[in-house]
Amino acid sequence: MTQHTFSSNKMELGAKLGAILQDPQKRAELVESPKTTLARIGANSDLTILADTADTVHILIPAEVDAARVAAEDEAYFEELGRQALGVCMYDDIPE
């Protein structure tokens, strides 16, 4: 039950962040005052905010990797890690 609640909280936070990122004014507020904006939606204000630009793309490196799956050369796991690392840094339109 705890895991379900935690997952639900993460989904709710993700939805709030997604709404901020979709609104140019709210996105600018997040970039300008991340601690205030994050606190307002109930997120940890110690989060690091990185914004991709046309010249800079950030890649997420997972905190933990399943060594057994890596040793087994699990291709599906490698694909999963790749999707997690790239996140949304693949663009149809290059951001400004």
Q: Where are the domains of the chain?
A: 1-47, 50-96
Q: Please provide the DSSP assignment of 54-93 as one string.
A: SS-------S---HHHHHTT-HHHHHHHHHHHHTT---SS
What is the dihedral angle through the alpha carbons of 58, 64, 70, 76, rounded to the nearest 10 degrees? -60
Per residue of the chain (96 residues), what is the pLDDT tens digit? 444 455 788 888 889 989 998 999 999 999 899 999 999 998 887 888 888 787 888 887 878 899 999 999 999 999 888 877 776 555 555 555
